[in-house]
Amino acid sequence: MDKVQDVAVLVGSLRRDSINRKVAHALTELAPAGLKLSIIEIGQLPLYNQDGDGKPPAEWTAFRERIRAADAVLFVTPEYNRSMPGALKNAIDVGSRPYGKSAWSGKPGAVVSASLGGIGGFGANHHLRQSLVFLNVPVMAQPEAYLGGADKLFDANGKLINEGTRKFLHGFMQACEKWIAANL
């Protein structure tokens, strides 16, 4: 049997009842058997400061090592003010340093954005892609995933109740598996 690919999932929201975290859980359930998705927490990371490169906080080191160990990365994020949340940008910056030792480089990736608004976090999704291009993360182009009105997709227990979205996310994860295999 082929190796199961380790997919590090970064959720852009730190909120306890985050819709994006619910989306990440739904993606974990819908992923094909060849992918193992694990949420890697980012809320504990101290703000990136270049002064720390010589003697990095333990949280930065653990995060960088965990990303390095992953086969692929999947971002699930809300939109904050037409961009990605600061916590997610901080995690990207932490993983990208020290210079020349980025944990991201060459790892296949994919992006899902979910928001209350009708445009499904398009601004966050594409700002994130801009950084990922620079960081040499080959990001899956299609299918794009912008989940609008996302608060209505889940029940009170966090279960995905929209059948169309379930089918779409299932197809998205199958495409991810192919993308990862082609870009390892």
Q: Which residues of this chain interact with ligand FNR, rule CB under 6 A? A: 13, 15, 18-20, 78-82, 115-117, 121
Q: Name the CA dihedral angle for 159, 162, 168, 173, rounded to a multiple of 10 degrees.
A: 0
| Cβ atoms of residues 149 and 114 within 8 Å | no
Q: How far is the CB of 12 from ligand FNR (least distance, A)?
A: 7
Q: Which is nearer to ligand FNR, 34 or 117 (CB)?
A: 117
Q: What are phi and psi of 118, to 5 degrees?
A: -70, -20
Q: How far is the CB of 85 from ligand FNR (least distance, A)?
A: 7
Q: Which is nearer to ligand FNR, 78 or 109 (CB)?
A: 78
Q: Which is nearer to ligand FNR, 20 or 102 (CB)?
A: 20
Q: How far is the CB of 78 from ligand FNR (least distance, A)?
A: 3
42-51 exposure pattern, b = at least 16 Cβ within 10 A, e = fewer? beebeebeee
